[in-house]
Amino acid sequence: MPPTTAPTPAAPAKPVRMFASYQLLRLLGKSRRSMAWLAEDTRNNQTVMLVVGRQQLTDEPYEAWLAQTQRAARLKHASLAEAIDIGHYDQWPFAAYDRGTYATWAERATPQGLPPAHVADWCQQAAEAMTVAHAAGCAHHDVQGWNLLVDEAGHVAVMGWAVAAPTEPTPDLQVTRAAAVADVLALGLLLHAGLATQPALDEPDVAKAAARLPPTGHETLRLPWQLPRPVPEGLRAIANRATDRQPRQRYLAARTLAQALANWLTTHAEGGGPLTLLEGKIQAAGVLPAQDGVAERVARLALMDDCRTAELAEVVLEDLALTFDLLRVVNTAQVHGEPVAADGAVLMVRRAIAMLGVNGVRRCALALRPWPGPMSPVAADEMARLIHRVKRAARLAVALAPAGYDGEVVALITLMQNLGRLVVQYHFPDEAAQIARLMQAEDGAPGMNAQAAALAVLGVDIEAVGDAVARYWGLSADLLAMVRRHSATGPVHLPDDDGGMLRTCASCANELADTWWSAPPNRVAQQVTAVAVRYARALGSTTTALQADTQRILGEGQTAAAPAVAAGVGVGMPATA
């Protein structure tokens, strides 16, 4: 008889792991403070996600924990996951959440990573949830990738609120605030990890990675340049700010991180450009507000029979909003389909008045939004200070220009080069304050440059905002070229034509003014000299002459350090955050 084959033994059944009434199916993630399981509620066969604290709690600590967790669970927001069960088992605290169509961030990831826009969108939604929770005095305490849930439509919900919370009965305000800041840093580490396609510092536990950054650790973290998916410049700046080596430079509130990501998504991911941030605001409040009383003076002068163009131009030039609006109107006006300014850009208010007539000037003046527009008193004060500085830079440019160039034209180009920062100060005063804070040097550590600070706060460069508004106005290509500043780091070449010389004079004056008011007091003279050296040959001048003009016009008899001490910021924006 043929040999018989022994039957194959059945594979041993996997032991059933239970946690209270929940059958544990699969570990979703764990950290030093908590862990998450995919589980089934045997009472109703519902698939859930179970977040379990890793510290056993006796009666009194448990009651303190329960109060915090239940308070967080009562909050309502689209991106706050709703706990369906909160309790403890064998002294292990837990919260359960319906699985539904959600998967964890890690489950949604691919070996090639995620599109940067998806990462930004998910973190923005999570930051919005944090904003609501933090405002209610609730912190998460263990923000991890497996606590961020994403459904098939890309909607994010954050689970595990306060499951890993400390068990003090009444944590004080300072402790609560520190926990909120730690939540924001943890989300920044997840943003970094999502863009870099690997855990920050190669540490899967986000809390451990955060502890390795200053002030508790000594490591630095910035996005690598070589990544599977290229990261746009604005989003890179946001991610790098979120984990900056200087804690004061990071996002200290979830709201500011959420807004930066929302701005970036609006301007870049949707392809609308910087103007998409401004369209609604411009329609409601204008590009800039008329300065107090100037529009009325212009309107009165325009009604006078003997109104002289030079006299009217002098008053118009006092008001940047009206000056810019006249240039916009005259440079984009058409008659019978032909541009009014067909023979080149109009760069003089006197010529604009002559072309539009006094009634046209009056109409422009009366159409402006009166000062201060929607600005608060504090924002209006900061706007007035910025306008004063911009005008001072225009005076400096006139002094720096070679003989033969009309002073009004030089001044207007200088003013126009500040359009972006004026618009940001008017429409985004809170963000302007953040930009100013990031640019400040502190305790020997340098601040960010203007471009990096703006990208980290707004998601776009301030100069790009000004360029977008100028394009929205329909200004000609030659005028657009003149109102773009020279790079603050690149070489300055001899201008090829008059337009290039106007651009160079304005750029030099604006850079000198920024340096004068932003450099640390003990370095103002040194940095002014460095700017003067860069521009002297291109302007046909000398370093000494540029230094002397800067001191005379910006200093007004004071020492070079005095304005830097008083202002403390580089773009004429408020020094407070």
Write the pLDDT tens digit of every residue in 446-493. 788 888 999 999 988 999 999 999 988 888 888 899 999 999 888 899
The C-alpha atoms of residue 282 and residue 203 are separated, in whole angstroms, by 45
Coil, strand or helix at 89 = strand
Residue 347 confidence (pLDDT)? 83
Greater confidence (554 vs 270) lies with 554
Query: 103-272 has which fold?
Result: Transferase(Phosphotransferase); domain 1 (1.10.510)
Longest Cα separation, the chain? 130
Lowest-pLDDT range of 8-17, 283-292, 475-484, 517-526: 8-17
The DSSP bridge pattern shows strands 34-41 and 46-53 to be antiparallel
Q: By the 8 A CB rule, do 202 and 268 touch?
A: no
How confident is the model over 71-82, as a mean pLDDT?
96
How confident is the model over 104-121, as a mean pLDDT?
90
For residue 568, what pLDDT band results from cuts at 50, 70 and 90?
very low
The C-alpha atoms of residue 334 and residue 340 are separated, in whole angstroms, by 5
Q: Burial code of 186-204, b = ≥16 C-beta within 10 A, e = fewer?
A: bbbbbbbbbbbbebbbebb
Residue 563 confidence (pLDDT)? 39
* pLDDT at 5 exceeding the cut of 60: no
Task: Provide the β-strand partners of residue 41.
Answer: 22, 46
Query: 17-98 has which fold?
Result: Phosphorylase Kinase; domain 1 (3.30.200)
How confident is the model over 328-354, as a mean pLDDT?
71
Q: Which residues contact 256 (CB under 8 A, 6 or more apart)?
A: 434, 457
Task: Provide the β-strand partners of residue 23.
Answer: 18, 40
Mean pLDDT: which of 6-20, 346-360, 368-382 is highest?
368-382
Q: How far is CA 452 from the centre of its chain?
A: 9
Lowest-pLDDT range of 50-54, 76-80, 263-267: 263-267
Lowest-pLDDT range of 374-383, 413-422, 465-474: 465-474
The C-alpha atoms of residue 455 and residue 449 are separated, in whole angstroms, by 10
Helices (H), 58-111: 59-73, 105-108
Q: How far is CA 264 from the centre of its chain?
A: 8
Q: Burial code of 393-404, b = ≥16 C-beta within 10 A, e = fewer?
A: bbbbbbbbbeee
Residue 79 DSSP symbol: T
- Rounded to 10 deg, the angle between the 320-332 and 407-416 helix axes is 100
**Whole-number mean pLDDT of the chain?**
88
Q: In the chain, what is the straight-line distance between the N-terminal and C-terminal CA atoms, in Å?
A: 92
For residue 300, what pLDDT band results from cuts at 50, 70 and 90?
confident
Report pTM. Answer: 0.86
Mean pLDDT: which of 327-341, 407-421, 472-486 is highest?
407-421
Peptide bond into 429 cis (omega under 30): no
The C-alpha atoms of residue 468 and residue 444 are separated, in whole angstroms, by 36
How confident is the model over 21-48, as a mean pLDDT?
97
Coil, strand or helix at 182 = helix
For a pLDDT cut of 70, what percent of the chain falls above it? 90
Letter for the amino acid at 51? Answer: V
Lowest-pLDDT range of 119-123, 194-198, 570-574: 570-574
How confident is the model over 434-450, as a mean pLDDT?
83
How confident is the model over 536-558, as a mean pLDDT?
89
